């Protein structure tokens, strides 16, 4: 072994080394394909159909997705007390494996039940839910109440829009 020379891997190249042919420029931030989700309500009136209409994805209502539906699940609930009470038992069903085989719980989506700030006890319940799973919040949207689902999404719904690939 020679001394005084740097040690390292030797690289041997076989065949001609050329410059790649120029092609069309690639965008610096190629957009990934939108992931498909099934939305499952943890209680009636959670807003599953509205979210599916606004953000796309499969509306499962209150039943588990079937074999041909997206396997990634977003649980949906309202932010009132009875709605929040249904979230943890549904999350626990996934933890225990008490859901159909192959379903994957991605997050919980909480839809505002009224305009304005939540009372402290409800905010505390949401923080407990956030300690065990990702939570996406959807604010009160008066236009949705009137059936106008085509307007621009509220800024607060941006994280959910990015997750579902519905961000414009």
What number of CA atoms fall less than 13 Å from residue 137's CA on the CB side?
17
Whether residue 9 is predicted with pLDDT greater than 60 in this model: the reply is: no
Q: Which of 26-35, 97-106, 147-156, 157-166 has the highest mean pLDDT?
A: 97-106
Both tokens of 29, joined, read 């931030």
Whether residue 1 is predicted with pLDDT greater than 70 in this model: the reply is: no
Contacts of residue 111, Cβ cutoff 8 Å, sequence gap at least 6: 46, 47, 50, 51, 76, 77, 78, 79, 138
Compute how many other C-beta atoms are within 10 angstroms of the C-beta atom of residue 37. 27
Q: What is the pLDDT of residue 49?
A: 92
Distance CA 164, CA 33 (A): 10
Which has more confidence, 126 or 52?
126
Which has more confidence, 37 or 13?
37
- What mean pLDDT is predicted for residues 14-21? 48
Q: What is the pLDDT of residues 62-105, one digit of tens each?
A: 999 999 999 999 999 999 999 999 999 999 999 999 999 999 99
Distance CA 104, CA 37 (A): 10
Domains defined along the chain, listed by start: 38-164 (3.40.50)
Whether residue 132 is predicted with pLDDT greater than 50 in this model: the reply is: yes
- The mean pLDDT value of the chain amounts to 82
Compute how many other C-beta atoms are within 10 angstroms of the C-beta atom of residue 77. 27
Q: What is the pLDDT of residue 22?
A: 56
């Amino acid at each position: 072994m020679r001394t005084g020379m740097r040690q390292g891997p030797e690289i041997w190249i076989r065949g001609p080394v050329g410059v790649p042919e120029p092609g069309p420029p690639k965008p610096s931030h190629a957009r990934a394909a939108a992931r498909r989700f099934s939305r499952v309500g943890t209680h009636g009136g959670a807003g599953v159909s509205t979210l599916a209409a606004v953000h796309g994805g499969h509306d499962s209502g209150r039943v588990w997705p079937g074999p041909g539906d997206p396997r990634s699940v977003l649980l949906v609930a309202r932010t009132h007390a009875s709605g929040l009470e249904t979230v943890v038992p549904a999350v626990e069903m996934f933890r225990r494996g008490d859901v159909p085989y192959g379903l994957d719980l991605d997050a919980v989506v909480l839809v505002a039940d009224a305009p304005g700030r939540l009372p402290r006890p409800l905010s505390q319940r949401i923080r407990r839910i956030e300690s065990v799973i990702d939570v996406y919040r959807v604010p009160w949207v008066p236009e949705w109440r009137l059936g106008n689902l085509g307007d621009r999404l509220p800024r607060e719904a941006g994280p959910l829009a990015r997750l579902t690939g519905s961000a414009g």
